[in-house]
Copies of this chain bind each other. A is one copy, B any other.
Amino acid sequence: MTDKIDISLQKAQDECSRTGLRMTDKRCNVLKILLQASGPLSAYEIADQFKSTFAESLSAMSAYRMLDFLMQANLVHKLETSNQYLACSHISCEHKHELPQFLICDKCHTVKEIGLSKQLLKELKDSIENTGFALSSQQLELHGVCKGCQLIHAD
């Protein structure tokens, strides 16, 4: 049985072939680590996990370079508010996002990549661009407390 991670890796490979990007083994394994991770990881954590998972060295410097590649390929996002990296949730589906949006739980540190309504995003975009400011495709990072943690830490 091929699981979701394998499907995502295959899709990532295919997409890179199609667009002429070079998905090397190491880059693929960095992506694999992020796909398997239960939450976002720092570049140094990724390098450490790479070493223990694949019994192969990877310097933090290399991790940063591979993350840069994966971000350019839209396979990985960086959380700018926490300096961590995560695999895009939409690799295995066809869903394309112009403006990724993340809900970050400050208790358990899980991150949910959500899709706000087109309507709402349009209003937000219009409202900002009316001031003359040209938005680059930047993401929304919203912090708070997830459902699970609200139940646990009810105080």
Contacts and interface: CB of A to CB of B under 8 A. Distances in A.
A144 B135 contact: yes
A138 B133 contact: no
Q: How many copies does the complex hold?
A: 2
Contact of A146 (B105, B114, B132): B132
A45 interface: no
Interface residues of A, number: 30
**Chain A interface, DSSP helix/strand/loop, else mixed:** mixed
A131 B142 CA distance: 13
Contact of A133 (B123, B124, B132, B147): B147
A115 to B, nearest CB: 10
Interface of A: 80-81, 103, 105-106, 112, 114, 116-117, 120, 123-124, 127-128, 131-136, 138, 140-147, 150
